[in-house]
Chains A and B, each alone.
Chain A
Amino acid sequence: MFVQGFGEILTDILTVNPAFSDFPSASSILDTSNYTFQALTFGKDAGGFVQHSHAVSSIQYVNDVVASGASSFDSGILTVINYASDVTNGVSSYIPSGSYLLFSSTYDSVPNDPSPLDTRLERGSTLSVNLSSYQFASALPDLGHYANPAVDNQLSAIWNKVGGFAPSGGANYNFYNKNKDLLFNGTLSGDFNTSGLMDKNGFLTVNPKSVREITNTDFGGGALVFSSTGLEPSEGKLRIRTRTSRGDGMSLVAFGSVKHIGVYCLDLKSMLTEGLTPPYAWNCLNNDRKYKLVAKATILDNPLFHRDLGATPGFGTLLAATPTIINLNLDFK
Chain B
Amino acid sequence: MIKSLTNQMGIKGHLTIHKIVEGEEEVVYDEDNVIVSGFGWALSHLYGKLGSNTITDYQIDRVQLGVSGYAGLQVSSTNSLSGALSSTTEYLGQSTDSNLNVVSGFRWENDSVVTTPQIYAKIPFSKVTRIDDRTVRYTIFIDEDSCNNLSRPGVPESALNEIGLFIKNPKADNIETSILTAYRYFSNIRKTSDFALVFRWTISFG
Which residues of chain B have C-beta atoms less than 8 A from A209's C-beta? 49
Which residues of chain A have C-beta atoms less than 8 A from B111's C-beta? 234
Q: Is A86 an interface residue (CB 8 A)?
A: no
Number of interface residues of A (CB under 8 A): 44
Q: List 20 A-B contacts (CB under 8 A).
A: A2-B5, A4-B206, A7-B133, A7-B134, A8-B134, A10-B205, A11-B130, A17-B125, A19-B125, A21-B56, A31-B54, A209-B49, A225-B47, A234-B41, A234-B44, A236-B41, A237-B2, A238-B48, A330-B47, A333-B40
A7 touches B6 (CB 8 A): no
- Which residues of A does B touch, CB under 8 Å? 1-2, 4, 6-8, 10-11, 13-19, 21, 30-37, 116, 208-212, 225-227, 233-238, 329-333
Which residues of chain A have C-beta atoms less than 8 A from B28's C-beta? none
Residue of A nearest to B136 (CB): A14
Assembly CA distance A212 to B51 (angstroms):
10
What are the 9 tightest A-B residue pairs by CB atom distance, in nearest-first order? A7-B205, A236-B40, A333-B40, A210-B49, A332-B40, A211-B48, A7-B134, A233-B44, A332-B43
Main secondary structure of the interface of B (DSSP, over half): mixed
Which residues of chain B have C-beta atoms less than 8 A from A226's C-beta? 48
The distance from the CB of B77 to the nearest CB of chain A, in whole angstroms, is 9
B2 touches A31 (CB 8 A): no
Assembly CA distance A33 to B55 (angstroms):
9
Main secondary structure of the interface of A (DSSP, over half): mixed
Assembly CA distance A32 to B206 (angstroms):
22
The distance from the CB of B69 to the nearest CB of chain A, in whole angstroms, is 22
Assembly CA distance A18 to B46 (angstroms):
17
Number of interface residues of B (CB under 8 A): 43
A237 touches B59 (CB 8 A): no
- Which residues of B does A touch, CB under 8 Å? 2-6, 8-9, 11, 37, 39-41, 43-56, 58-60, 76, 111, 125, 128-130, 133-136, 203-206
Assembly CA distance A226 to B47 (angstroms):
9
Specify which of B44, B58, B111 lies most central, judged by the most chain A CB atoms within 10 Å of its CB: B44
Which residues of chain A have C-beta atoms less than 8 A from B128's C-beta? 14-15
Assembly CA distance A32 to B58 (angstroms):
9
B44 touches A237 (CB 8 A): yes
With contacts A36-B46, A333-B40 taken as known, whether A14 is within 8 angstroms of B4 at the C-beta atoms is: no
B6 touches A333 (CB 8 A): yes
8 Å CB contact of A32 from B52, B60, B130: B52
8 Å CB contact of A13 from B50, B59, B133, B206: B59
Assembly CA distance A31 to B58 (angstroms):
11
Which residues of chain A have C-beta atoms less than 8 A from B46's C-beta? 13, 32, 35-36
Assembly CA distance A209 to B30 (angstroms):
44
Residue of B nearest to A227 (CB): B48
Which residues of chain A have C-beta atoms less than 8 A from B136's C-beta? 11, 14-15
8 Å CB contact of A11 from B37, B44, B125, B133: B133
The distance from the CB of A309 to the nearest CB of chain B, in whole angstroms, is 33
